[in-house]
Amino acid sequence: MKKIMECVPNFSEGRNKEVMEAILAPLRNKENVVLLDYSHDEDHNRMVVTLVGEPQPLKEAVLEAVRVAVSKIDLTKHQGQHPRMGAVDVIPFIPIKDVTKEEAIELSNEVGRIIGEEIGVPVFLYEDSATSAERKNLAKIRKGEFEGMEEKIKLPEWKPDYGKAERHPTAGTVAVGARMPLVAYNVNLDHPDVEVATAIAKRVRFIGGGL
């Protein structure tokens, strides 16, 4: 592969193995695309996928997976610890080798347009692709989650960048964007109270006023 871009789509399914495998199928054995890793857990009810590839084959593989997820995930029946607003919750593109951030932004717009206009799921551009300062931060876009988005998306300031200003009835909305690499990690706490974990996270996470 000459140009290498990474994509880390997050899907709101971490329990149904049949659905997860169906989503992963378009990402396997693709020319110039490599599925590096995927992880899921039942508590979050979420699957995170990491793949790299040349921009256009990567785009095509991701869109295939999105179509599967939209057809198989119903957020009206979804519950989990992780905040979510869409069957495909977020799709970040990250420049890795011989590609620029600007190319990642362009690709995010291409993918966002197809998801919004052809697949029918409203799209918010975020991070480096954001069209306003309020949309750079994923947590701000996602606030209210799937349930709250039914009314939020009708507000003028939350009109989607692509697609109709109407939440998809089962697949919700999706954030698509470009960003630089980041490091994320999970910590398992031997404690039954979720509020303890929340308090620790607020002290650590920058968005919560932490480190």
Place of tokens 């300031």: 157
Residue pLDDT, tens place only, 99-157:
999 999 999 999 999 999 999 999 999 999 999 999 999 999 999 999 999 999 999 99
Amino acid at the residue 111: V
Answer whether residue 195 is part of any domain: no
Residues marked active site are found at 82
Residues 6+ apart with CB under 8 A from 62: 7, 9, 27, 51, 91, 111
Judging by beta carbons within 10 Å of its beta carbon (0-12, 13-18, 19+), is residue 137 exposed, middle or buried?
middle
Residue pLDDT, tens place only, 44-64:
999 999 999 999 999 999 999
At residue 137, the pLDDT reads 92
Judging by beta carbons within 10 Å of its beta carbon (0-12, 13-18, 19+), is residue 203 exposed, middle or buried?
exposed
Domain count of the fold of the chain: 1
Amino acid at the residue 103: E
Amino acid at the residue 167: R
Distance of CA 105 to the CA centre of its chain: 15
Domain hosting 161: range is 4-186
Nearest to 32 by CA among 64, 69, 5, 50: 5
Say whether pLDDT at 184 is over 80. no
Nearest to 116 by CA among 72, 68, 56, 172: 172
Nearest to 148 by CA among 80, 82, 86, 91: 86
Say whether pLDDT at 206 is over 80. no
Q: Roughly what angle, to the nearest 10 degrees, separates helices 101-114 and 55-72?
A: 40
Answer whether residue 125 is part of any domain: yes
CATH (domain of 158) = 3.30.990.10
Q: How many CB atoms sit inside 10 A of residue 207's CB?
A: 11
Answer whether residue 198 is part of any domain: no
Answer whether residue 209 is part of any domain: no
**Quick one: DSSP state of residue 69?**
H
Answer whether residue 191 is part of any domain: no
- Helix extents (H) in 129-183: 138-142, 145-152
Which phi and psi angles does 38 have, rounded to 5°? Answer: -150, 145
At residue 186, the pLDDT reads 79
Residue pLDDT, tens place only, 69-91:
999 999 999 999 899 999 999 99
